Amino acid sequence: MTDKERIDFVFTHLRGKGFIRSYRDLAQKLGMGAPNLSKAMNGNPLYLTHSFLMRIANVAKDYINPDWVCTGEGEPLVKKEPTPILSTEYMELIKQQLTEKDNIIAEKNATIQRLIDEKNRLITIIGEKLLSDNTN
C-alpha cells in the first residue's frame, strides 16, 4: 500500500469513528492549513513527507497503528485490550468500603443536624431574652 493509500485509509477510518468530519477537522488536529493537507492527501511529494506521516500517525494513534502509517508494516488498526473484569472479591471489598464511607457520612450529617438544632435553640433563647429585656 502506498503512502497516499494509507493516509486515505486513516482519513476514512477517523471519519468513520467520528474523530473527524472533514479535511478541515483533520488539518486542525494536525496544526496545519487545509490547503497543505489537501496537497498531501492528493499525494504531492512535497507535502506527503515522512514528517507528515509521523504527524498524522501521532494524531491517529488511538485508532491506527503509527508504525503502519509511517512504514506500511504491521496491522493498520490498533488492537484495544479488553477491559478486565473485576473479581467478585474485589467488588465486595469496594462495596464494603463504600458502605463504611456512607456510614461515616451519615454520622457526620447527624452531627451537623444536631449542631444546627442547637444553634436554632440558642437563637430562640437569645431572641426570647432580648424580647423580655425590652418589655421590662
What pLDDT does residue 91 have? Answer: 81
> At 40, is the pLDDT very low, low, confident or very high (cuts 50, 70, 90)?
very high
pLDDT digits (tens, 9 = 90+) for 108-127: 999 999 999 999 999 999 99
- Domain boundary, last residue among 14, 38, 71: 71
What pLDDT does residue 93 have? Answer: 85
- Domain boundary, last residue among 29, 47, 71: 71
Helix (H, G, I), strand (E, B) or coil at 64: strand
Structural domains of the chain, count: 2
Give the orientation angle of helix 23-30 with respect to helix 34-41, to 10 degrees.
110
User: Of 119, 7, 86, which is closest to residue 52 (Cα–Cα)?
Assistant: 7
C-alpha cell read off for 95: 462495596
Q: C-alpha distances in angstroms, 136 versus 51, 98, 125, 126, 131?
A: 92, 57, 17, 15, 9
What pLDDT does residue 94 have? Answer: 86
CATH number at residue 59: 1.10.260
Same domain assignment for residues 9 and 32 = yes
Residue 92: inside a domain? yes
Same domain assignment for residues 12 and 36 = yes
Confirm whether pTM is higher than 0.75.
no
Question: What gap in Å lies between CA 90 and CA 92, rounded to an integer?
Answer: 5
pLDDT exceeds cutoff 60 at 83: no
pLDDT exceeds cutoff 90 at 81: no
